[in-house]
Structure 1
Amino acid sequence: MIKSRTVEECGTADFGWLKARYTFSFGHYFDPNLMGYASLRVLNQEVLAPGASLQPRTYPRVDILNLVLQGEAEYRDSEGNSVRVVAGEAALLSTQSNVSYSEFNLSTTQPLTRMQLWLDACPLQENPLIQHININNASSLLLASPDGESGSLQLRQQVWIYHLDLPAGEEITLPIRGPRAYLQSIHGQIHALGAESQDTQRLVCGDGAFIHLEPYVTITASTPLRALLIDLPV
């Protein structure tokens, strides 16, 4: 089964300095039926105004993946670690209960736009506090995985995240390891078809789709496409 969740169905926020779209319950946006999906707890797209920042705070034990779409961000923790991330790069924060984290839009003129994912982390595994990766122009890039396969970011959970960058008309088929996955269009239009699905799901910019009990999904880019496929065995 593939079931779409349109961008119009998502929660939103506009605080002036921060604008956000929430796939699952987050902050003031609460839907008891959408508290996450398997180990994926948060999937937000947020825009920080020029010079804005998120001040130091602690988090539950999660892996936080920030994919920068526009601008330049800096992430710092209370242990003295920091990383600068520009558009086309991503950072992974392996949060600890005794460590606080902050985020800064380094530009005084340009907004910072990014996708942010939170994934439940295994309580027994420890990874570097901050990891950083450059996203090349590959049509399919393994962005994050449990063991850091092929130079990907290493998660503390059995999850695989693919970043897709397809020209119009290109098609790609990806295997799904577990019973669930989530497909998110960052920009562009998608036609998604599973092995068991009867109907093709059409997604437009900002839409997502819950994928359930499909051994693979075939993704066709109707327009130039950028998307994430989050494979969620757990």
Structure 2
Amino acid sequence: MIIGRAAHECGKADYGWLQARYTFSFGHYFDPKLLGYASLRVLNQEVLAPGASFQPRVYPNVDVLNIILQGGAEYRDSEGKHTVAQTGEAVLLATQSGIIYSEHNLSKTTPLTRMQLWLDASPERENSPVQRISTRRAPYALLASPTGNRGSLKLRQQVWIHHLMLEKGEQQRVRLHGPRAYLQSIHGSLQVQTPASETRRLVCGDGAFIAEENQLELIATTPTQALVIDLPV
């Protein structure tokens, strides 16, 4: 089953220094039916003005995945850890109780555009505080997983995140651990088809809830960047 979540249905914010689109309830945007999906708590696309910073904050027990789409970001925490990520990279922060985190747009002229995901972290799992990876490794790559296999980022949860960059007409099959997944079009448009031949078209910014499926067939109808977030737990 595929249930669409069109970009225009998402929550939006414009503070001047920040423009944002929220898939689930976040900040001032609240929908009691959209508090997350399985262990996926947050899925935001945000544009931070040149030179601007997010207010330093303490997170709940989550893994925070930032996928840099344009620009450069600097991340710091109150224990002195520091990393920089540029266009085409992703940073995973294994947040800890009581630690303050900050994010800053390094450029004085270019906006910082990125996707941000929060995933509930298992309290029994420990992980490296900061991990970084290129998102340009292949047209299809495992971006994050519970074990860090195939060179992926290691999560503290039973979640597999697949990253796709497909040219027009290319297709990719993604096998799921089931029974839930979320598909997000970052750029471009694509068709998604299930083994039961249910088909849905997504355009830029659209998402889709996937339920009770074991694989997806994705076909790019324009050059496309997308995520498949496999959420079996």
Q: Which amino acid aligns with 2:159?
A: V
Tell me if 1:29 matches 2:29: yes
**What's the counterpart of residue 160 of structure 1?**
160
Paired position in structure 2 for 1:199? 198
What per-residue deviation string (whole Å, max 9, x for no partner) do you get for residues 56-89 of structure 1? 2101000000000000000111111111000000
Q: What is aligned with 2:130?
A: 130
d(CA) in 1 for partners of 2:68, 2:136 = 13
Alignment map for 1:146-225 (pairs within 5 Å)? 146-196=146-196, 198-225=197-224
Structure 2 unaligned blocks of 5 or more: none
| Residue 142 of structure 1: aligned partner | 142
Q: In the alignment, is the contact (CA less than 8 A) between 1:137 and 1:165 conserved in 2?
A: no
Taking the aligned partners of 1:188 and 1:70, their CA distance within structure 2 comes to: 16
Alpha-carbon deviation of 1:199?
3.0
2-structure distance, mates of 1:27, 1:17: 15
* 198-207 or 220-229, larger mean C-alpha shift: 198-207
CA RMSD of aligned residues (A): 0.7
Letter of the structure 2 residue corresponding to residue 121 of structure 1: A
Give, as a single letter, the amino acid of the residue that structure 2 aligns with 1:78. Answer: S
Q: CA deviation at 1:55?
A: 2.7
Q: How far off its partner does 1:137 sit?
A: 4.5
Provide the rounded CA distance (Å) in 2 between the counterparts of 1:109 and 1:189.
29
Superposed counterparts of 1:41-120, under 5 Å: 41-120=41-120
Q: Distance in 2 between matches of 1:122 and 1:199?
A: 34
Q: Which runs of 5+ in 1 are unaligned?
A: none
Q: What CA deviation, in whole Å up to 9, does each residue of 1:154-182 have, x standing for no partner?
A: 00000000100000001111101020000
Question: How big is the shift at 1:51?
Answer: 0.3
Amino acid corresponding to residue 226 of structure 1 in structure 2: Q
> Displacement of 1:139 after TM fit?
1.3
Runs of 4+ in structure 1 displaced over 4 angstroms? none
For 1:200, the aligned partner's letter is T
1:189-213 CA-to-partner distances (Å, cap 9, x unmatched) read 11001123x4310000000000000
% same residue: 64
SS at structure 1 position matched to 2:75: strand
Q: Distance in 2 between matches of 1:85 and 1:209?
A: 28
Amino acid at match of 2:152: S
Number of aligned residue pairs: give it: 233
